[in-house]
Amino acid sequence: MLPDVLPPTAAALTEATSIEQASHIQRLDIATPLRDRPVPTTYVKRGTGGTPILLLHGFDSSVLEFRRLQPLLASHRETWAVDLLGFGFTERGEDLSFSPSDIEAHLYGFWQAAIAKPVVLVGASMGGAAAIDFALTYPEAVEKLVLLDSAGIGTGPVVGKYLFPPLDYFAAEFLRRPGVRNNISYTAYFDKQFNSEDARCCAALHLECDRWNRALISFTKSGGYPSFKSQLPDLDVPTLILWGEDDKILGTKDAPEFYRLIPNRKLIWIPCCGHVPHLERPNTTARRILEFVEFNN
């Protein structure tokens, strides 16, 4: 049975991993400095034992992004996935803003309330930038870091700062269009067969949440995540960089740049893989992460 937090269209999910991940979604009220009331926050917890693994999804996505990776990791370790502030099925209150600093404050509140011990932090795409930001600010909370085709070298969508009504609304609604989302999904995969109806359903369910477009506009107008290039040499945590050899979203130039700038790091390329190795090559991705987690530096 699917949780009430999901819209009725979740009944259209067909793949077993999608249905199972959706059925594990829970909600926890998270206290933050962002407002007096807690923020109802959606997450998935699976597995037990070992250093916890915490998964952070990409831009305009949700915990469903980890439907293939999380169960593989959870067979070995306690594994969490959380919907970042402004994304997924986490509440988008009218009294909230959705800048990177707001996301970081909310993520720290979630970590304190749900986990409260050092984690292996895994960030995919924009989630990688969020993970870097979190590790730099709260190094005591991060034991190891994994970056999956990560943002964080280039700057965020600065043009969004200059989107004024009604252009901001039209831009968000443009991103809502099935054809636009299908094109993004198609580009993300090396093997286009992964761009299935079920995959498109997973990627679109959160669009039905209240104030989806408002949160997206707020985040974009904040400028998104900056470049962390000047701070990466200060990233004092063992880091694994996993990158699809055929990434057509971010390309492949940022991977060696991360490798050059982060002191304690390892770079592994994943062949025949696009921007989302956790979806396209979940077994390889899980194996590489678990090897990294279990290796004692």
pTM (2 d.p.): 0.95
- Report yes or no: 276 and 191 within 8 Å, Cβ to Cβ: no
Residue 169 is predicted with a pLDDT of: 55
CATH of the domain at 287: 3.40.50.1820
On whether residue 1 sits in a domain, the answer given is no
Residues 242-258, mean pLDDT to the nearest whole number: 97
On whether residue 95 sits in a domain, the answer given is yes
On whether residue 91 sits in a domain, the answer given is yes
On whether residue 2 sits in a domain, the answer given is no
Number of domains in the chain: 1
Structure token digits, residue 265: 């790091």
Q: What is the DSSP string of 29-69?
A: EE--TT-SS-EEEEEEEE--SSS-EEEE--TT--GGGGTTH
On whether residue 90 sits in a domain, the answer given is yes
On whether residue 20 sits in a domain, the answer given is yes
Does residue 290 carry a pLDDT above 80? yes
- Sign of the CA dihedral with 168 first, then 100, 206, and 17 last: positive
Residues 166-176, mean pLDDT to the nearest whole number: 62
On whether residue 273 sits in a domain, the answer given is yes
Using CA atoms, how far apart are residues 207 and 188, in angstroms rounded to an integer? 19
Count other Cβ atoms within 10 Å, centred on residue 183.
12
Residue 172 is predicted with a pLDDT of: 65
Residue 143 is predicted with a pLDDT of: 98
Predicted confidence band of residue 166 (pLDDT cuts 50, 70, 90): very low
Average pLDDT over the chain, rounded to an integer? 93
For residue 257, what are the domain limits? 8-294
Residue 182 is predicted with a pLDDT of: 82
Using CA atoms, how far apart are residues 136 and 274, in angstroms rounded to an integer? 28
On whether residue 132 sits in a domain, the answer given is yes
Residue 185 is predicted with a pLDDT of: 86
